[in-house]
């Protein structure tokens, strides 16, 4: 019998739900790399999911703690959509996925892991990326370390910023 080693997953399973909001607290800290924050806009930021469904799973979250689309200001929601587009662009360049799952889980019954702070998931997908593991053992194997993913996406964001500055 072969054994698959995915130690990162057990930390998520065993972890007690923390008080507070990760999307409010992480941006307050100084070290974006250790907090997996890839990009900061004026109203929103892009962060790598610490417990990804697939390599490159990122999220866009507003800076403000808001839990309903009705509470977005016009500038906030426009930038949010722009950062979703940026996230897709950098993922395409870095990983060449065949497609994406993009969405929000609003409310606990809808699967929101961080209830009360909206965020949009962007999950890159590849043909054949799903196998028997989730069905048989409720386990998904992610084949890339988080900081390797972070470094790759951060370099794509830097290149994107250089390209947009040089085209002005």
Greater confidence (16 vs 161) lies with 161
Q: How confident is the model at residue 29 (pLDDT cuts 50, 70, 90)?
A: very high
Q: Answer yes or no: 119 catalytic.
A: yes
Ramachandran angles phi, psi of 96, nearest 5°: 50, 55
Distances from the Cα of 52 to the Cαs of 47, 66, 121, in angstroms?
11, 23, 10
Dihedral sign from CA coordinates of 130, 114, 45, 47: negative
Sheet with strand 120-125: strands edge to edge: 37-40, 44-48, 58-62, 120-125, 99-103
Domain ranges of the chain: 19-129+139-166
How far is residue 104's CA from residue 120's CA, in Å, rounded to a whole number? 5
* Tokens describing residue 50: 């610490």
Pairing of strands 99-103, 44-48: unpaired
Dist. CA 41–CA 76, nearest whole Å? 10
pLDDT digits (tens, 9 = 90+) for 78-92: 999 999 999 999 999
**Average pLDDT value over all residues in the chain:** 83
Tell me the backbone φ, ψ of residue 74, rounded to 5 degrees: -55, -45
Q: Is the pTM of this model over 0.75?
A: yes
137: pLDDT strictly greater than 80 = no
Q: Which of 57, 80, 119, 121 is catalytic?
A: 119
Q: Within 10 A of 83 (CB to CB), how many other CB atoms are there?
A: 25
Mean per-residue pLDDT, 33-48: 97
pLDDT value of residue 132: 46
Question: What's the rounded Cα separation, in Å, for the pair 101 and 71?
Answer: 24
Indicate the CATH number of 19-129+139-166 among 3.55.10.10, 3.30.428.10, 3.40.50.1860, 3.30.450.370: 3.30.428.10
Q: Give residue 114's pLDDT.
A: 78
């Amino acid at each position: 019998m072969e054994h698959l080693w995915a130690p990162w997953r057990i930390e998520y399973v065993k972890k007690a739900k923390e008080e507070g909001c990760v999307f409010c607290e992480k941006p307050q800290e100084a070290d974006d790399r250790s907090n997996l924050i890839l990009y900061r806009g004026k109203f929103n930021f892009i962060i790598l999911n610490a417990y990804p469904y697939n390599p490159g799973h990122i999220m866009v979250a507003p800076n403000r703690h808001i839990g309903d689309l009705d509470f977005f200001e016009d500038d906030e929601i426009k930038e949010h959509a722009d950062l979703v587009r940026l996230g897709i662009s950098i993922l395409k360049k870095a990983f060449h996925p065949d497609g994406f799952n993009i969405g929000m889980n609003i409310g606990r019954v809808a699967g929101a892991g961080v209830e009360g702070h909206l965020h949009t998931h962007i999950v890159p997908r590849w043909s054949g990326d799903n196998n028997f593991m989730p069905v048989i053992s409720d386990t998904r194997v992610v084949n890339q370390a988080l900081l390797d993913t972070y470094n790759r996406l951060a370099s794509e964001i830097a290149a994107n910023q250089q390209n947009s500055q040089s085209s002005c």
